[in-house]
Amino acid sequence: MNAVDLAEEALVRHDGLTCLARASDTELAAIPGIGPARAAQLSAAFELGRRLLADWPTGRWTIRAPRAVAERLILQMGRLEREELRVVLLNTKNVVLRVATVYQGNVSSSPRPSG
């Protein structure tokens, strides 16, 4: 099986990239053509991607319109497993000082303070 076919098979078995990224090493290794070593490599690559998103955006950035906040945070918040309320703290020149998670929860539970 070539790499493209293997990737298609993995995506089909796990119902898309999001579920594939959440799969355990054992689940990945169960895909024909992926052994324990390649499963570990895939898990490591997905984890690096998650950490990169968690770190981004780094440094300070300026908000010029609401869309700027959406564009910066959609990568982080688009794949959350539960609802979060985040507050963007700005200085008087609209430079982001910090993005703070205020609540975490989901539709079947009450929000609770994070951290």
The answer on 100 and 74 residing in a single domain is yes
Secondary structure letter of residue 72 according to DSSP: H
pLDDT of the residue at 111: 54
Residues 10-14: contacts with CB under 8 Å, at least 24 apart? 10/34
**Range of the structural domain that residue 73 is part of:** 58-113
pLDDT of the residue at 12: 92
The answer on 83 and 49 residing in a single domain is no
pLDDT of the residue at 76: 76
Tell me which residues of the chain have a pLDDT lower than 50.
none
* Cα–Cα distance, 98 to 88 (Å, whole number): 6
pTM: 0.53
pLDDT of the residue at 37: 93
The answer on 103 and 89 residing in a single domain is yes
Secondary structure letter of residue 33 according to DSSP: T
Query: CA torsion, points 32, 40, 45, 97, in degrees to nearest 10?
Result: 140
